[in-house]
Structure 1
Amino acid sequence: MIQDILEDEHIILQADANDWQDLIQIVSQPLIKDETITQQYVQAMIQSVNDFGPYIVIGKHLALAHARPEDGANKLGLSVATVKDPVRFGNTENDPVKIIFCLSAIDSFSHLNIMKYLVQLINDEEKTKQLDEVTTIEDFKKILLNG
């Protein structure tokens, strides 16, 4: 499932982010560019963290930014960014974030399938470490999808 929706142009490696809001903006850009999501969706993701805390930090050094479909999800999509300097969201257990995914799901079925995959990734700290260190999209995809 993940390999069907994660396109090369949706992978950002070694991004420079000033803070967690900036990181959400960065990881969202490929999905905004191809109109998978709207700018309203990005604002909803940021507002959710402001309202509910750093719940999007789903594992050690790993975050999953998302919002409700009605907040501006036009179609199913996924983007991912690794960061040069890890970013703190305020999650004492799992900060700092080194890899962030941005999910645009239009229904709960696709949302759950991607979540299942990411739970496997959370449980594989070695794979997460390798993903954080790669410098090419080809290597990132190889590790992410095969491991």
Structure 2
Amino acid sequence: MIKELLSLDNVQLGVDVDNWKEAIEVAAQPLLEKGVITRDYVNAMVESVIKFGAYIVIGPGLALAHARPEDGANELGLSITTLKTPVNFGSKDNDPVKIIFCLAAVDSHSHLDVMQAIVRLLYKPGSIEELSKSETKEELVSKLFNEE
């Protein structure tokens, strides 16, 4: 499922950001540019972290940015961003974040396969570290899908 959603132009490597808000904004950019999400969706992702805390940091070094479908998701979409310098989201156990997956879903079930695949990454020791060290988009995608 992830493989179908993740084109190379939705992958960003070594992005330089100053804080978690900017990290979410940058991670959402490929989806925003393609019209997969609206500006309201990006704002809703930031607002949800402000309101509910760093719940999107789902594992050590990994954030899954998302919002509710009605906040401006036009279609199912996914982007991946690695950060040049990890940033803190306020997660006691899982900061700092090195990789951000940005997920857009248009309903309450279409994204579940994508989320399961992302969670499986957390069970592979060292996978987040390996992905964050990718030097090319192709390398990251290859590592993500174990195609090396």
| TM-score interval for Structure 1 and Structure 2 normalised by the shorter chain | over 0.9
The Cα offsets for residues 91-140 of structure 1, whole Å up to 9 and x where unpaired, read as 01000000000000112222211111111101123121110001101100
TM-score (normalizing by structure 1): 0.97
Matched position secondary structure for 1:110: coil
Moved more, 5-14 or 121-130: 121-130
Between Structure 1 and Structure 2, the one with more helix by share is 1
Matched position secondary structure for 1:90: coil
Partner Cα distance (1:10, 1:101) in 2: 10
- TM-align CA RMSD: 0.9
Q: What residue number does 2:120 align with?
A: 120
Instruction: Write out aligned runs for 1:63-78 (5 A).
Output: 63-78=63-78
What amino acid is the match of 1:85?
T
Q: What residue number does 1:4 align with?
A: 4
Q: What residue number does 2:110 align with?
A: 110
Partner Cα distance (2:109, 2:77) in 1: 13
Matched position secondary structure for 1:125: coil
Q: What residue number does 1:140 align with?
A: 140
Partner Cα distance (2:125, 2:71) in 1: 32
Instruction: Write out aligned runs for 1:1-147 (5 A).
Output: 1-146=1-146
Partner Cα distance (2:14, 2:125) in 1: 18
Partner Cα distance (2:2, 2:108) in 1: 15
Partner Cα distance (2:118, 2:137) in 1: 18
State the number of aligned residues: 147
Partner Cα distance (1:91, 1:123) in 2: 19
Partner Cα distance (1:97, 1:56) in 2: 10
